[in-house]
Chains A and B, each alone.
Chain A
Amino acid sequence: MNINKENSKAIIVFCSKLEISQTSKPLSNAEFRDLLIELDKKNIELYQLFDFSDEEFKSKIDLPIKRKRKSKVLIDLKRLKSLISRKISIFFKVEKLNNIGLKIVTLSDSGYPKKIHEKLKENAPPLFYYTGDINLLNKSLIGFLGSRNVDDNDIKITKDLVKNFNKTGIVSGGAEGIDSICINESLNNNSFGVEFLAGSMLKRIKKTNTAKAIQDNKLLLISAALPSDRSYKYTAMERNKFIYICSKQAIVIKSDHEKGGTWAGAIANLNKKYTKLYCVDIDYKGNQELIKKGAIPIKIDSNLSKDTINKKDNLNNDSKDAINEKDNLNKTEKLTNIEKAKSSQTSLFNFK
């Protein structure tokens, strides 16, 4: 979609769950895409629908629009009109969010996360809710993934790894466990972070530390879920995708085997190749299986010399940015040893 302020407002009217009345169900991502395809064919801008009379709807677009697969829900005149009837009231709620620093970015805004749009194309969510500096997404980010349940060793590994990325940001899923440990560590190191939330944004900002980090432009919270909604399994799955897409590299700290969101997300990433996947090489079934399936293992060993890392890094010539990153690399020496998978010619530290 083109950048257009009026279309952006229209996306909110048609797609946001901010106001759900009994008659209108906001368009799902797929439905929205179908509507756009139809409008494109007829050369109609989304916002123009607001002024359409019933006759115009009938004569200018082919309604109802059916989903390709057999879906009971249709985009018909009644539903569109019902959604259009929110064109004023919904902005009362938008302003309520705006007032406390929560914003909406739509596919029609220039600030929409570029990588998500590029990778997901028409499957990209029509809008995100966020608070903080959305430009943090344009910086180089390392994805951290892992379970809510962690032991001391996991915490240590996570913190040590994060220390390497003090000029790079961290992106995670904003949940308990690994997610919050890596972000907190990053903020403690005066670096920055992005959290793709599966829900409950309003609850998150109640924490003074979170609010302060956002005020300082160190933290971005972003979510396709309504800020007042709690997280669900499917929103959690969806947001894992965003983490991978927005990461230069992603590291799985710990994953269960064939169950849980971390596993599913990592497998999906290996299939879709959103980003390079690393996995901490610990004696844990899930981790070992991910490595077997192609995740690059990270061996935790503190006895590696500086030379080794630099040499390894030099192997990696496919990145223009590699040289710039030496500064960061040097700091990693004491902490981490990366053992590349035999087949892989890439380096973990191939980030900007």
Chain B
Amino acid sequence: MSKKTEIINTDEKIGSFSKEDIESYAQELLNKICGKPTKFREGQLEAINAILTNQRTLVVQRTGWGKSFLYFVACKIIRELNRGFTLVMSPLLVLMDNQLEQAKNIGLNAKVFNSSVSGRNKKRIMDSVMRDEVDLLFITPESLFTEQFQANLKDVGFIVVDEAHCMSDWGHDFRLKYGKLHKIINQLPNNVPVLCTTATASDRVVKDLESQFGNEIVNFRGSLFRESLAIDIVHLNGKASKYIWILENINKFPGTGIIYCLTKRDCENLAMFLVENGISARPYYSGKGDTALTEKEFMNNEIKVIVATIKLGMGYDKGDISFVIHFQKPQNLVSYYQQIGRAGRNINHASIVLLVGDKEDDEILNHFIDNAFPKEEIFSTILDSLENSDSGLKISEIMAKINSRKKVVYKAIDFLCNDGYIIKDKYKYHISPKNYSYPHKHYDEITKIRRKENKQVNEFISTDKCYSKFLLNALDDYSNEDCGKCSNCLGKDIVSKDIDYENIELAQEFLNTLYLEINPRKMWAKTDSTKYSKIRLINKPGISLSKYGDDGFGELVKVGKTEYGAFSDKLVKKTSEILKDIVKEEKIQGVVPVPSLRSDIVKEFAKKVADGLDIGFYDVLIKSDVKPQKDMENSSFLCKNALDSFSHNKNNKEKIPKKLLLIDDTVDSRWTLTVCGSILREKFGVSKVIPYTLADDS
């Protein structure tokens, strides 16, 4: 079924191996891996031959087709020909364990080298690579480009790029470091074998990969159809109803499954909600510390469901996942195909449900698209600042010159370093001799494609044709008939499309108690008037009622601020409720509002709260007319601006209590609260300041 297969003439011997030798050798290994006599899949032998005749080979086949088998066999034979070990690049850590096991079964000594391996073990691994004991080395691109790895690298005989679609920034899952691989591969002598594999590559990505390799790549492409997946789509408005749908339906699915969310916060909250309601769920996203434990618990069926971002995607190999639910619309159909492909690998039936919501989904998706690439301005300001230095700048020196968010600057620096326009040398960054120009056209084209993909998702949602077929067509696989399993094929619902609205209160209540903590700042930023140094008198940890704009209170705060010019009584009531206990426990005696020149909305709100709590109201801080804090982007600028903004009236002899609440509408950088708190403590002799805001807008 390979769509485009150019079989190479392999009559000649490969070292001491004839074509027949290879076939029987491969057959033996296949039987060993499967534990019983097994037939080759179409294309497997041809691909192995292509590799062994030193071709650049691209294999696009569905998950479970046996892509890793190809390089196991090739690795073995290349090893026997004494042509070095096999280096497998993979963007993920999760898939490695499983493959290590398989490799071991056929007598390959395989090792994993990635950021989760300790320094000492890394050294041990590299030592055994040097001693030529390792047959197969799995590595993430991030580790590949480290000095420690490259310094000791030798005797590689065969390169495998797993999840090769990550090399193309046309693809849905481009990885910065992966994008550099083709440059290396293209420099290699023509007669070293390279295998690229992926389960998700559209024509455009395949074409891009082909051109990355100078169009000299043998291409094996098969049907991507997964017959075990039964797709259905449920329309629900608002987070609360989605929460309830999941709660009501999750136990109807046998076995274990995955819920995909677009944001980390959604993963955390939904998992918490499910746990509170008796479902064993775990959040999973990049940056979360205990992902390895979660994977293990999931693998052992100790938990029902993982609530994950796309971090849990490619390569995750658990054969009996019986359901995948998407909490929001996916970014595009290719990644959707890949995510639902986690399910039903070794079982006959898996339920795939897409929960489609209202405009919120689109807002998040558009945000992703708009922020995919750093803006030109940030690149040029960074480069300008470096060009105006003699021999580079430290990161803190760059930050003090650029009014942009730390995250934005770091991301831009990462891009520039990765592309070699700036060089990091110990603590300093300096420009490289390479000429820089912003890739406008390229970024624009990609953005255009992303929007098109977005549209395609909407078409998928509204189609009345076979969902599976629609998906495969989106991946340029036209080889299949209707699946006969999805709700459109069956002409009836696979899952319930309704929820019990009586239950919705439960979810709403949960969403309304997702307070956020305000961690007090402990250090001043570097500005004209402050050094990077400890803040002497700091605030206590505070509370934010909601996430700005979120369902429930977050939405109320947004509407109050932008439309009504006043915060509703509901917010006053809820605030008093939350603060009542704190006032009692912390012996709070008064409320101080953060002053504003633009409106009295905060002052009025704080006054009402003070009245509700029956404590004093002290409007003692003064705001000067400087730029709004929201125009400031990074710590240096925010801190300086806040310091310039707030003061107190020196003639004010009013006595104020020692323990206070400091109230503002929203919190972002925390510099306003930090500076106001510091004034209260230093100038008024206040001993305790607890900040409270209606929403977190960071």
Interface residues of A (CB under 8 A from B): 6, 9-10, 13, 19, 21-22, 47, 50-51, 53, 85-89, 91-96, 98-102, 131-132, 205-212, 214-215, 221
Q: Are B192 and A208 touching (Cβ within 8 A)?
A: no
The answer, yes or no, to whether B159 is at the interface (CB within 8 Å) is yes
Bound form: Cα–Cα A271–B433 in Å = 37
Q: Are A87 and B433 touching (Cβ within 8 A)?
A: no
Q: What are 25 sample pairs from A and B whose C-beta atoms fall under 8 A apart?
A: A6-B190, A19-B154, A47-B191, A50-B191, A51-B54, A87-B188, A88-B84, A88-B159, A88-B192, A91-B184, A91-B188, A92-B150, A92-B184, A96-B145, A98-B420, A99-B419, A100-B432, A101-B433, A102-B433, A206-B423, A207-B390, A208-B388, A210-B433, A211-B431, A215-B433
Bound form: Cα–Cα A106–B37 in Å = 52
Q: Are B425 and A100 touching (Cβ within 8 A)?
A: no
- Nearest opposing residue in chain B for A9, CB measure: B189
- Nearest opposing residue in chain B for A216, CB measure: B435
Q: Are B189 and A215 touching (Cβ within 8 A)?
A: no
Q: Are A208 and B387 touching (Cβ within 8 A)?
A: yes
Other-chain contact of A87, B180, B192, B388, B435 (Cβ < 8 Å)? B192
Contacts of A21 in B (CB 8 A): 130, 154
Q: Are A205 and B390 touching (Cβ within 8 A)?
A: no
Q: Are B191 and A51 touching (Cβ within 8 A)?
A: yes
B666 to chain A, nearest CB (A): 41
**Chain B: how many interface residues by the 8 Å CB criterion?**
41
Contacts of A13 in B (CB 8 A): 189
Q: Are B154 and A86 touching (Cβ within 8 A)?
A: yes
Contacts of A99 in B (CB 8 A): 180, 183, 419-420
A215 to chain B, nearest CB (A): 5
The answer, yes or no, to whether B107 is at the interface (CB within 8 Å) is no
Q: Are A100 and B420 touching (Cβ within 8 A)?
A: yes
Bound form: Cα–Cα A92–B130 in Å = 17
- Nearest opposing residue in chain B for A92, CB measure: B150
Contacts of B9 in A (CB 8 A): none
Contacts of A208 in B (CB 8 A): 386-392, 430-431
- Nearest opposing residue in chain B for A132, CB measure: B433
Bound form: Cα–Cα A106–B295 in Å = 50
Bound form: Cα–Cα A87–B85 in Å = 12
Contacts of B155 in A (CB 8 A): 85-86, 89
Contacts of B386 in A (CB 8 A): 208
Q: Are A206 and B430 touching (Cβ within 8 A)?
A: yes
Contacts of A214 in B (CB 8 A): 433
Bound form: Cα–Cα A289–B431 in Å = 44
The answer, yes or no, to whether B630 is at the interface (CB within 8 Å) is no
Residues in B4-38 with C-beta less than 8 Å from chain A: 15-16
Interface residues of B (CB under 8 A from A): 15-16, 54, 84, 87, 130, 144-145, 150, 153-157, 159, 180, 183-184, 187-192, 386-392, 419-420, 423, 425, 430-435
Given contacts A47-B189, A132-B433, A215-B435, A88 and B156 within 8 Å (CB-CB): yes
Contacts of B391 in A (CB 8 A): 206-208
Contacts of B392 in A (CB 8 A): 206, 208
- Nearest opposing residue in chain A for B435, CB measure: A215
Contacts of A102 in B (CB 8 A): 433
Other-chain contact of B431, A51, A87, A89, A212 (Cβ < 8 Å)? A212
Contacts of A93 in B (CB 8 A): 150
- The interface centre, meaning the residue of B154, B180, B391, B392 with most chain A CB atoms within 10 A of its CB, is B154
- Nearest opposing residue in chain A for B150, CB measure: A92
A92 to chain B, nearest CB (A): 5
- Nearest opposing residue in chain B for A47, CB measure: B189
Q: Are A211 and B191 touching (Cβ within 8 A)?
A: no
- Nearest opposing residue in chain A for B434, CB measure: A101
Q: Are A9 and B419 touching (Cβ within 8 A)?
A: no
Q: Which 10 A-B residue pairs are closest in the complex by CB-CB distance?
A: A99-B420, A214-B433, A101-B434, A88-B156, A89-B153, A101-B433, A85-B155, A100-B420, A100-B432, A95-B184
Contacts of B431 in A (CB 8 A): 208, 211-212, 215
Bound form: Cα–Cα A50–B83 in Å = 10
Q: Are A101 and B430 touching (Cβ within 8 A)?
A: no
Bound form: Cα–Cα A102–B423 in Å = 12
- Nearest opposing residue in chain B for A85, CB measure: B155
- Nearest opposing residue in chain A for B430, CB measure: A206
Bound form: Cα–Cα A120–B150 in Å = 34
Q: Are A100 and B434 touching (Cβ within 8 A)?
A: yes
Q: Are A95 and B156 touching (Cβ within 8 A)?
A: no
Contacts of B189 in A (CB 8 A): 6, 9-10, 13, 47, 50, 87
Q: Are B180 and A88 touching (Cβ within 8 A)?
A: no
Bound form: Cα–Cα A131–B84 in Å = 33
B326 to chain A, nearest CB (A): 38
Bound form: Cα–Cα A175–B16 in Å = 54
Q: Are B180 and A205 touching (Cβ within 8 A)?
A: no
**Can you add 17 more A-B contacts, CB < 8 Å, to A21-B130, A207-B391, A208-B392?**
A6-B189, A6-B190, A21-B154, A47-B191, A50-B192, A86-B154, A86-B155, A91-B188, A92-B150, A95-B187, A96-B150, A99-B420, A100-B434, A205-B433, A208-B389, A208-B391, A214-B433
- Nearest opposing residue in chain A for B390, CB measure: A208
Other-chain contact of B432, A9, A19, A22, A205 (Cβ < 8 Å)? A205
- The interface centre, meaning the residue of B15, B153, B183 with most chain A CB atoms within 10 A of its CB, is B153
- Nearest opposing residue in chain A for B54, CB measure: A51
Q: Are B433 and A131 touching (Cβ within 8 A)?
A: yes
A328 to chain B, nearest CB (A): 28
Given contacts A99-B420, A207-B390, A91 and B432 within 8 Å (CB-CB): no
A187 to chain B, nearest CB (A): 14
Q: Are A9 and B156 touching (Cβ within 8 A)?
A: no
Contacts of B388 in A (CB 8 A): 208
Q: Are A85 and B433 touching (Cβ within 8 A)?
A: no
Contacts of B192 in A (CB 8 A): 50, 87-88
Contacts of A91 in B (CB 8 A): 184, 187-188
Bound form: Cα–Cα A100–B130 in Å = 28
Bound form: Cα–Cα A33–B155 in Å = 25
